[in-house]
Amino acid sequence: MSEQTVAESPRVAAVVIMAAGAGTRMKSATAKVLHKLSGRSMISWAVDAASFLDPEHLVVVVGHQREQVEAHLAEVAPQAITALQAEQRGTGDAVRAGLSVLPGITGDVVVTSGDVPLLEGATLRDLVQAHREEGNRVTVLTAVVPDPTGYGRIVRDGDAVARIVEQKDASDAERDIAEINAGIYVFDAGLLAEGIASLQAGNAQGELYLTDVIAYASGAGHRVGARVLADYLQTEGVNDRIQLAERGAELNRRLLRHWMAAGVTIVDPATTWIHDGVDLAEDVTLLPNTSLEGATSVGRGACIGPDTTLVDVEVGEGATVVRTHAELAVIADGATVGPFAYLRPGTEVGEKAKVGAFVETKKAVIGAGSKVPHLTYCGDAEIGEGANIGAGTIFANYDGVTKNTSTVGNHSFVGSDSVLVAPVHIADGAYVAAGSTVTGDVGPGELAVARGKQRNIAGWVARRRAGTATDAAARAALGEPSSPSGGGTTSLGAPDAQEAAQ
């Protein structure tokens, strides 16, 4: 493969991406090209490949569910212009619609489909290069596939391409041809316009087939070439949800291979999913059942998983995240999270801090070295450095109307099962006694105790639970004779004790 890039050759005049079809087989309220693979819509993958060519014009032909597609394109591909194909009369008509927004265009026009998400920009570059080097007027991207059913077949005339015949129009002999039309082409603009003007719908589907431009061109004596792509998986399209899953799995496999080659250990590629746009450093380890989504990044030496989903999360070097679901959170270097943690947006876990088992956080800044180890809700919280939040602590941030923030200072200690009723501020170097419901601020060096004082009622078991095993145990511990009411371990004395025992 030549190292020369298209950027060094003249730019292509336009890329036209066909995306107006109904996508009936998806059976979806969402436009087919908006379905996602590896976190991105099919159409954005197609636009990416097209943009690799740096075309002067990038046209997306829209029609069916066009409002959805246009709104999405405005977000992900503002450089694209759209052309309306009001009625979907076939791929030839789609390209006619595309050309209608490119009046007087000359040069090379590349045509691709919105439903071929694995196609790479480099493949388009090589196709354009072959087209120019061979002096073709049309060049078709083809592949030899194990099962050509459903695709258009390439009918050759020696090295050149004579025509393309659709599955539904093909003879038995033609159906045996294993070389298929990928639906990706480079055309000379003038010849394309001429060819499209010549199209007729006299075929099995009653459509205007773009593929008939090939027969038009070769019939008129123009050179039509083909480039066979060995990596035929790139040419596979998505017409239904089965193919969506298959193409999605292949795209994922390719992304995983990229990251493994870049120094990431992926223990179980079959259950690891990495979205496009995720960034991983060397020596990251991903354990089984891990999904990294959105703009997630993971620093050197960190270990993620098993059973973890991170969406737009930044993980620092050497951090550990086990059985966790996290979104829009930052986990700093050396921090540990999980197992069974739920980090919601606005969570920042500081350096070497710990968020442990069954902890939920939201808009929570947890300072360096602080620990929230067990069974805690930590919402709208600012925790300093080196603090310890005891098991079962609740930051009660919501009074039913508004949410308020509470703070815990450096090296402070909140005892287990405390409720911090926001907004409260616990200063640096303060303690909260276990089981406290804290409604007022706590100053530096203070211990807050906010709970009922303990009282012990002597002889209660003997009076109210006489004859029970508890009573017998108490008597034994106290060195007293067993209960006068019989000393049995099963018979219960008073009726209230029977109720209580149920």
Residue ranges binding ligand UD1 (CB under 6 A): 18-21, 61, 85, 88-91, 93-94, 113-115, 151-152, 164, 166, 180-183, 209-211, 237
Q: Which of 43, 51, 44 lies closest to 12 in space, CA to CA? A: 51
Q: Which does 314 bind (CB under 5 to 8 A by kind): Ca ion, ligand UD1, none?
A: none
The nearer residue to ligand UD1, 119 or 414, going by C-beta atoms, is: 119
For residues 108 and 186, is the Cβ–Cβ distance under 8 A? yes
Which of 57, 222, 258, 374 is flagged as catalytic?
374
Three-class DSSP category at 364 = strand
For residues 209 and 166, is the Cβ–Cβ distance under 8 A? yes
The nearer residue to ligand UD1, 198 or 437, going by C-beta atoms, is: 198
For residues 405 and 397, is the Cβ–Cβ distance under 8 A? yes
Stretch that binds Ca ion, among 235-243, 325-333, 344-352, 445-453 (CB under 5 A): 235-243
Size of the site for Ca ion (CB under 5 A): 1
Q: How far is CA 211 from CA 85, 93, 365, in A?
A: 18, 11, 59
Q: Which does 128 bind (CB under 5 to 8 A by kind): ligand UD1, Ca ion, none?
A: none
The nearer residue to ligand UD1, 204 or 270, going by C-beta atoms, is: 204
CB of 237 to Ca ion, least distance (A): 4
Nearest-angstrom CA–CA distance, 119 and 182 = 10
- Position 110, amino acid: V
Stretch that binds Ca ion, among 56-64, 215-223, 231-239, 344-352 (CB under 5 A): 231-239
Q: Which of 418, 334, 407 lies closest to 374 in space, CA to CA? A: 418
Q: Is 23 in the site for Ca ion (CB under 5 A)?
A: no
Q: Which does 248 bind (CB under 5 to 8 A by kind): ligand UD1, Ca ion, none?
A: none
CB of 36 to ligand UD1, least distance (A): 16
List of E strands, 269-349: 272-274, 279-280, 285-286, 290-293, 297-298, 303-304, 308-311, 314-315, 320-321, 324-327, 329-331, 336-337, 341-343, 347-349
For residues 422 and 437, is the Cβ–Cβ distance under 8 A? no
The yes-or-no answer on residue 35 being catalytic is: no
CB of 90 to Ca ion, least distance (A): 12
CB of 238 to ligand UD1, least distance (A): 9
Which residue in the set 98, 237, 379, 467 belongs to the binding site for Ca ion (CB under 5 A)?
A: 237
Q: Which does 238 bind (CB under 5 to 8 A by kind): Ca ion, ligand UD1, none?
A: none
Q: Which residues are known catalytic residues?
A: 374
Residues within the interface to Ca ion (CB under 5 A): 237
